[in-house]
């Protein structure tokens, strides 16, 4: 087993995290949050989603946020979620060059989420891939939602996951994110799917996206990492989660996962103290939201007061 020496952490908090909030975050605050994240060392940041503002009002200012960060924050690869051609065109028009095209392996979830069957989503993807040559440097990552479970059908057959990996691979996609959208995944399932994906599609760069809904975000990431997956989505403060599952927590917190890898001696490029400052900034802009960040709550080792018992 070859161990990677570094890992790529992609920050999705400004998208996956903020989309669940009931309060609208102003452009300036979103840009400041992204600036904080960049200064903590995050080099890949998902700025939001190019979706209908009727569906997700939080992204009503996505164009302005995108243009501002591209213009004013350098050295970061900004990406945006797009569910269809319209979103892709809008994102590309704003200067975004890294598109995260999302669709669900589970038909029930895809219909609920983006209003299409998976096959219809693949047609959108095909159209987006046709567009790319017109935009210098443009690239697509496909996010396979509900890879590890679906809130509607619960268990998603692994053959179905592999089928869609194969389909997008045949379309020429070489970056695929396996998403545990609702935190149903377990390490053994991750090992099975990762093993098959890595061996069957050696020319694909796989990423994983693990919600920490049931506390297994870091365990699942560890399982994937040990097999050779070296890229993970996370959200600052553990933001995110499903607005329709009260109490469910969100993405694995960026600071928790960065802490795990950093303590393991795996390079992340991230300054954890600066990340904790970013969590403090986040608390200022959304004081009423309870963050799910173990590290922010407990502090770095050595920050404890004296005198723990047994």
- Cα(185)–Cα(170) distance, integer angstroms: 26
Q: How far is the CB of 251 from a copy of itself (least distance, A)?
A: 12
Q: What are phi and psi of 193, to 5 degrees?
A: -65, -40
Shortest separation between residue 248's beta carbon and a copy of itself, angstroms: 4
Q: 3-class DSSP state for residue 244?
A: coil
Closer residue to a copy of itself in complex, CB, 38/279: 279
d(CA 73, CA 293): 26
- Which two tokens mark 116? 């299409």
With respect to a copy of itself, which residue has the nearer C-beta, 133 or 244?
244
Q: Residues with Cβ < 8 Å from 72, sequence gap 6 or more?
A: 31, 35
Residue 46 to residue 239: CA distance in whole angstroms: 13
Query: Shortest approach of a copy of itself to residue 134 CB, angstroms?
Result: 26
Nearer to a copy of itself, 44 or 292 (CB): 292
CA 270, 276, 277, 280 dihedral sign is positive
Active-site residue (options: 150, 197, 208, 242): 242
Burial of 137 (0-12, 13-18, 19+ CB in 10 A): exposed
Q: Is 242 a catalytic residue?
A: yes
| Closest to a copy of itself by CB, 35 or 240 | 240
DSSP label at residue 132: G
Binding interface with a copy of itself (CB under 8 A): 16, 19-20, 49, 56, 81, 83, 102, 109, 112-114, 145, 149, 151-152, 154, 181-184, 186-189, 212-219, 221-223, 242-245, 247-249, 253, 256, 259-260, 263-266, 294-295, 297-299, 301-302, 304-310
DSSP letter for each residue of 288-306: TSPP--HHHHH-STT-SPS
At closest approach, how far in Å is the CB of 24 from a copy of itself?
Answer: 16
Residues 77 and 45: their CA atoms lie apart, in Å, by 6
Q: Which is nearer to a copy of itself, 137 or 244 (CB)?
A: 244
Give the Cα separation of 15 and 297 in Å (integer).
23
Give least dist CB 74 to a copy of itself, A.
Answer: 28
Strand pairing report for 205-210 and 175-180:
parallel
Q: How far is the CB of 149 from a copy of itself (least distance, A)?
A: 6
Q: Which is nearer to a copy of itself, 24 or 72 (CB)?
A: 24
- Classified as helix, coil or strand, 201 is coil
List active site positions: 242
């Amino acid at each position: 087993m070859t161990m990677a020496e570094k890992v790529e952490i992609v920050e999705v908090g400004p998208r996956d995290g903020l989309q669940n909030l009931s309060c609208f975050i102003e452009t300036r605050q979103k840009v400041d949050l992204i600036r904080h994240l960049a200064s903590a060392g995050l080099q890949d940041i998902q700025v939001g989603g190019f979706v209908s503002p009727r569906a997700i009002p939080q992204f009503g200012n996505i164009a302005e946020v995108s243009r501002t960060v591209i213009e004013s924050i350098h050295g970061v690869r900004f990406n945006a979620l797009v569910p269809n051609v319209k979103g892709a065109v809008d994102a590309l028009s704003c200067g975004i060059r890294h598109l995260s095209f999302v669709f669900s392996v589970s038909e029930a979830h895809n219909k609920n989420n983006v209003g299409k069957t998976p096959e219809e989503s693949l047609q959108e993807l095909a159209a987006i891939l046709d567009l790319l040559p017109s935009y210098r440097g443009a690239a697509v990552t496909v996010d396979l939602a509900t890879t590890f479970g679906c809130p509607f059908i619960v268990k998603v057959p692994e053959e179905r996951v592999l089928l869609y990996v194969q389909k997008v691979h045949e379309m020429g996609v070489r970056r695929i994110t396996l998403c545990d959208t609702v935190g149903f995944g377990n390490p053994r399932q991750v090992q099975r799917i990762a093993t098959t994906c890595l061996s069957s599609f050696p020319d694909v760069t796989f990423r994983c996206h693990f919600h920490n809904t049931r506390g297994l975000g870091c365990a699942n990431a560890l399982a994937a990492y040990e097999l050779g997956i070296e890229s993970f989505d996370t959200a600052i403060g553990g933001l995110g989660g499903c607005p329709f599952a009260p109490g469910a927590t969100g993405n694995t917190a960026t600071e928790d996962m960065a802490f795990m890898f950093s303590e393991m001696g795996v390079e992340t490029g991230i300054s954890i103290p600066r990340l904790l400052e970013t969590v403090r900034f986040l608390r200022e802009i959304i004081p009423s939201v309870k963050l799910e960040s173990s590290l922010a709550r407990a502090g770095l080792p050595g920050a404890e007061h004296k005198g723990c018992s047994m």
